Each structure stands twice: as structure tokens, then as C-alpha cells.
Structure 1
Amino acid sequence: MYKISAYQLFVTTFIFQLGTGIIFGSGGLAGRDAWISQLVSIGPGILVIMLYITLMRMNPGLTLVQWFPAQFGRWIGIPIAFLYPLLFLYQTTRVLADIRDMISTTLLFNTPLIIVTGIFVILILYIVYSGIEIIARFAELLLPFLLVLFIVEIILLFSSDVMHINNLQPILENGWGPIWEVVYPGGIHYPYGTSIIFAMFWTEISHPEKIMKITVLSAILSGIMIAVFNMLAISVFGSMFSHFLYPLYTLLSVISVGNFIENLQIIGVIYFFTTAFIHASIEMFAALKGFQQLTRIQDYRVLIIPAGIIALFLGMAMSKNISEHYYYQHMKILVPYIWTSLHWILPIILLIVTWLRQKVFKVKKNV
């Protein structure tokens, strides 16, 4: 049986954690200090990841959706566990909505949204049908390409003479308040809390003893990379950074080297499409595997077409515009209520119950 290598786990986790954060910009509410809020989020984010790894080690050989029936019993554990594949499917549709909105507002103004969204859904379903191994291999091929684009972008920005280090100052102009508002809860949830999804795949890793090192390293590097993107945008736009919906896309539009190398927004689109594609594929695959394990059907592939139809419908109908999609549904509902419950509260309760059962009452797992 094929196992995901340690390197493939690192690459997949790293790209997943970048997700849509590099195109939307992370921490805009902190203004010039957005890059600081991203760096500060790494610490508590790693603690959250350590929570998931601890649960994995206390439930060896089980995936995320199997932890709850093992510790709470089937009658309580299975209904709770179903919340996670539902969340993963919902988050797939959010990525589709991100794609829909960005394409319609930046590139293909007159293209029917159903065409753009439908093509993206078909691509996701195709790679999900192939399995997590193919997703991991595809991510492995993409990473060098993304890193080269990142380096080229930095070189071109410096060559365009549009960056001004003074725009990063004054540091902590408004104190730590705005930074903590970004860090908690949103900065910890994304990208670190969302990494709970990899608990669906950790049983497929060829070297499980390396999971902690790999996941923590990818969290640190993805956090630093997003922080660097923020610093680049702030050094160009200053306090205006927080007013751009797609700061990376806008940042690339100012590149001009010798009046020859210009209009490089397509690089931002490539960033977004590649990271969003890997992100959505992992979300969809985790959702289908979760439903398969909880319903005990033989092959998750029988769920691909129904899941694709649901994702396409919700991706088109989720919100009327990007403001409702991001500032209301994401910031006001998803982060404070859904993510907080499923990323923190339930795992902490599970950890306490598991510890009591294993250390105090000496009860063996029962799936």
C-alpha cells in the first residue's frame, strides 16, 4: 500500500496552510503591523497543532472522525464526528466562492460564473478521484514552481523601486490591541487551526514519527511567508494595504522594470489558483473520506458526484458578493462560532476525556 512520504506531507501541509491567505492578505485589521500579527500568530498556532498531534498519539491508527466514537462511544461520538466532514465540504465551497469572486472582479469580467466555478469543480473532483497520493505528488511538483515565482516577485519589486521601508513605520503605532484582535481568534484559526484536517491523513504517512516535526516546520514557514507578503505590500502601499481586497494582486500591478516588464498580475492569479486548488482538493478528499469512514461504505468515490453537485451549487449560491462572503460569513460566523467550536472546544474536550479514560480509568479504545 502506498504511503505519503515525509516530504510530501510537508509540501502538502505547507501549500494548504498558505491557502488563500497570500492573495487576500492576512491581518489587514492591524494595518501596518499586519506582518507582526502574522508572526505572533505562529506561537499559539503551533500550540493548537500540538493539541491535534497529542490526540493522534493518544488514538494511534485512527483518523480525526474516528477519535470521537473511540472515546465518546458511537451514539455520541459519531454525530459529533459528522461535523468535521460537513465542515470540510463547506470549506471546499468557500474556496469555490473565492475563485468565483476573484475571477469575476479581476480577469474574466463577462465570463459566466457557472463556467469558471464548474471547471474548477471538475478539476477538483478529478484529482480527488485519484486519491491523496496523487494530490501529494501534485503538490510536490508545484512547490518549486511557487518558490521560484516568490523569488522572482521579490527581485522585480526591488528592481521597480516601489518599495519604501519607511512605510513599515511607525511600528506598533496603535499598540498591541489591533494585533491581538487579528491574532485571536482568526490568526490562530487560519492557517493553524484548519490544519486539523491532516488528522484525516496522518495514518497514511510512511514515517509517523516525523509528523510533529513536519507539521510544526510547515506552520512556521507558511506563517513567515505570509508575513513576508504582508511586509512587501505594506512597504509599497503603506497604510492603504488594509483597504485592498486582493493586496498581492494589486502589489504585482505596480511592478515596472524598464517599462518592459509590467502587468504581472497573472502571477498573483497563478499563486491563488495553485494554492486554492490544493487547498480545496484536500478539503474535498477529507470530507469524502470522513463520510466513508463514518457510514462504512466501501469506496469514497461513490460520493464524488453528489459532493461535486453540492459544492457547485453552494459555491454559486453562498453569497451575493465578496463583502458578504468574507466580511460577514467568514469574519462574523465561521471564525468565532464554527471554527472555534470545531478547532478548539471539541478537541480540548476530547483530550480531557481521552486522558481520563486512558490514564485514570484505564479504558481501552473502542471503535
Structure 2
Amino acid sequence: MHKISVYQLFAITFIFQLGTTIVFGFGGLAGRDAWIGELVSCCLGVFVVLIYIALMRMNPGLTLVQWFPAQFGRAIGTPLAFLYPLMSLYVVGRIIADIRDMVSSTVLFNTPLIIIAGVFVIIIAYCVYGGIEIVSRLGEMFLPIVLIMFCIEVILLFSSDVMHINNLLPMFEKGWAPVWKVVYPSGITQSFGETLVFAMFWPETKRPEKVMKLTVLATLLSGIMISSFDVLALLVFGGMFSGFLYPLYTLLSLISIGNFIENLQMIGVLYFFMTALLKSVVHMLAAVKGIQQLTNMKDYRVLVIPACAIALFLGMTMSKNISEHVYRHHFEILVPYVWVPLLLVLPTILLIVTWLRQLKK
């Protein structure tokens, strides 16, 4: 059985947390203070992650879906645990819709949406079939590419003379209220709360005692990187930043050095594809493994094709257009009704119950 190495765990956690956020930009509602909102979300996200790690330590050797039956009993715990694989399937459907909209509106204009989504799903299915070994190798491979591309982008933007420090000012123009709206609940849950999915894989790491250190480090670094993207976009666009759907993609189109280095939007598409793929594969693998463990099946691989078919159906039918997908489904449905209960409320209740049971013993 493959065990995840220390570097692999860090790589997949870091890229998973970058997810689709780096292309959509973070916290447009906070305007010029978006980057501050991301840093505050990251600091609070560390506390959320620490709750998950405390649960892992209180339930040694058990995965996320096994915590609930172990603490609440099978009658209550099993139905609650089933919510997590279903959540992961829904999230994969959302990422497929993200890819469908982004690729069709930026690169492949005339390609049928089902082809774009279908190819993406086939790649997900192939990676999930390979199990945690393929996922950890993907992370290992993607991490240096993402970091090198980020460094190149920063150097080229500074060389293109499109940045103006005045665009960051004034800070806190409308006070803390817009920043806090961005931070809670969507900022905390979007990248950092979703890390709970890794509780499906933490028992498979080579050095479980390093999980806390690595996950907190990945959380802080991904928060700083997303915040850096916001700062870059704000230095270029100023107050217009919140009006762009894909600020990073638009940002790359402005790079121009000596009429020679231009039109680097493909870097944005590559970023998006790599981080979205890794995030989808982690969620899909967590979903099928979760169902396997809850139903005592011998092998999760029989579930891969049906699960991918459901995710593809969700991705194609979830929303009619990108604005409905982002603004209505994400902010009005996913965050308050799925993420807050499953990523914040239930784990907190589970932590209290587990702690009380251990005190009683």
C-alpha cells in the first residue's frame, strides 16, 4: 500500500488550497482590501484546520467518515458521515462547471461544452483509478511548475510597467465591514475549511506526527500566495479589480515587454487547469473511498465511473451561465447551506462530543 511522503502531503495540500481561487481572484466584494480579507481568512483558516487535526489525533487511524460512527454510534454517525462523500461529489461538479465556463470563454470558443467537460472528467477518472499514489505524484509534479510560473509572472509584470502603488490606497475606505463579509463564511471555508477532505488520507501518511506542521504551513503559504495574486491585480487594476470575473487571466494579457513577450494568458489557463484538476481528483477520491468505507465494499474502483458520471451531469446542468454559477450557486447555496454546516458546525460538535467522551473515560 502506497504511503504519502512528507513532501507529497505538503504539495497536494498547498495546490488543493489554491484550487480555483487563484484564477477567480479572492474577495472582489472587499474592493481594494481584498488582499487583507484573504490574510484574515488564512489566519482564521489555521484555527479551523487545527480543529480537524485535533479530531484526527483523538481518533487515531480512522478516516473522516469513520469518526462519526465511532463517536455518535452507527445509527446517527453513518448518515452524518455520508454527507461528506456527497459534498465532495457536488464540489467536483462545481469545478467541472468552472472548467467548462473558463475554457470555453477564453481558449476554445467554438468547442461544445460537453467535450471540454467530458475530457476533464476522463482525466479525473484515470487519476482516481490510480489511487492516492497518482494523486501524490501529481502534487509532487505540479508544485514546482506552479511556483516557477508565479515567479515568472511577477518578474514580467514588474518589467511591463503596468503597476501603480497608489491603486492600493485608500485602505479600509469603507471600514472593516466589507472585509469581514469576504472573510466569513466564504473566505474561511473556500480553501481552508475544505482541507477537512484530507482527513480521508491522513492515516495513509508515512509520518502522521508531521501532519499538523505540514498542513498549517501549506495553509499559511497558500493564503499568502492568493493574497499576493490579489495585490498584483490591485496594483494593476485598482478599484476595477472587483469587476473582473477572471482577474488573473486578464492580468496576464497586460504583460508586454518590447512587443516581444506578450499574450501570456495560457499561463493562467495552465494554473487553473493544474490546481482545478488536483482539487477535483482529491475530492473524487475522497468521495469514492468514503462510500467504500461506509458500505464495507472491497474496492472503491467500481464506484469511479458512476461517481464521475454523476459529477459530469452536475457540472453540465448546475447553472446556465457563469454569473449564476458563481454568484447564486456559490454564495447563496453552497457556502451557507453546505460548507458552513459540514465544514464548521459538525466538526465543532464532533470535537466537543469526542472530548467529553474521552474525559468520561
TM-score range (shorter-chain normalised) is over 0.9
Give yes or no for contact 2:2–2:132 (8 Å, CA) kept in 1.
no
- Match of 1:247? 247
Q: Does 1:42 align with 2:35?
A: no
Give the CA RMSD over aligned residues.
0.7
Segment of structure 1 superposing worse, 168-177 or 210-219: 168-177
User: Matches of 2:119 and 2:79 in 1, distance apart?
Assistant: 33
- Match of 2:53? 53
* Aligned positions of 1:84-99 closer than 5 A: 84-99=84-99
Q: Supply the AA of the counterpart residue of 2:125.
A: L
What CA deviation, in whole Å up to 9, does each residue of 1:35-93 have, x standing for no partner? 01101111111100000000000000000000000011001100000000000011001
User: Matches of 1:164 and 1:43 in 2, distance apart?
Assistant: 28
- Match of 2:25? 25
* Aligned positions of 1:256-271 closer than 5 A: 256-271=256-271
What CA deviation, in whole Å up to 9, does each residue of 1:112-161 have, x standing for no partner? 00100000000000010001111111110111111111010011101110
Q: Supply the AA of the counterpart residue of 1:134.
A: I
User: Matches of 2:3 and 2:136 in 1, distance apart?
Assistant: 10
Q: Supply the AA of the counterpart residue of 2:93.
A: T
- Match of 1:75? 75
- Match of 1:349? 349
Q: Does 1:316 align with 2:299?
A: no
Q: Does 1:328 align with 2:323?
A: no
- Match of 2:121? 121
* Aligned positions of 1:91-110 closer than 5 A: 91-110=91-110
- Match of 1:288? 288
* Aligned positions of 1:222-237 closer than 5 A: 222-237=222-237
- Match of 1:217? 217
Segment of structure 1 superposing worse, 307-316 or 6-15: 307-316
The alignment's TM-score, normalised by the length of structure 1, stands at 0.98
User: Matches of 2:155 and 2:349 in 1, distance apart?
Assistant: 48
Q: Supply the AA of the counterpart residue of 2:304.
A: I
* Identity in percent: 67
* Residue 109 of structure 1, CA deviation: 1.3
- Match of 2:152? 152
Q: Match of 1:277, SS?
A: helix
Aligned residues: 361
Q: Does 1:13 align with 2:8?
A: no
User: Matches of 1:117 and 1:244 in 2, distance apart?
Assistant: 23
User: Matches of 2:280 and 2:339 in 1, distance apart?
Assistant: 17
User: Matches of 2:146 and 2:343 in 1, distance apart?
Assistant: 28
* Aligned positions of 1:138-217 closer than 5 A: 138-217=138-217
User: Matches of 1:271 and 1:41 in 2, distance apart?
Assistant: 22
User: Matches of 1:228 and 1:160 in 2, distance apart?
Assistant: 17
* Residue 189 of structure 1, CA deviation: 0.5
Q: Supply the AA of the counterpart residue of 2:293.
A: Q
What CA deviation, in whole Å up to 9, does each residue of 1:226-268 have, x standing for no partner? 0000000000000000000000000001110001111110000
User: Matches of 1:262 and 1:42 in 2, distance apart?
Assistant: 33
- Match of 1:307? 307
- Match of 1:365? none
* Residue 2 of structure 1, CA deviation: 2.1
The alignment's TM-score, normalised by the length of structure 2, stands at 0.99
Q: Match of 1:320, SS?
A: coil
Unaligned 5+ segments in structure 2 are none
Q: Does 1:132 align with 2:132?
A: yes
Q: Match of 1:354, SS?
A: helix
User: Matches of 1:270 and 1:55 in 2, distance apart?
Assistant: 35
Q: Match of 1:82, SS?
A: helix
Unaligned 5+ segments in structure 1 are 363-367
Segment of structure 1 superposing worse, 307-316 or 238-247: 307-316
User: Matches of 1:142 and 1:215 in 2, distance apart?
Assistant: 17
* Residue 358 of structure 1, CA deviation: 1.3
User: Matches of 1:345 and 1:37 in 2, distance apart?
Assistant: 22
Q: Supply the AA of the counterpart residue of 1:110.
A: N
User: Matches of 1:228 and 1:140 in 2, distance apart?
Assistant: 22
* Residue 294 of structure 1, CA deviation: 0.3
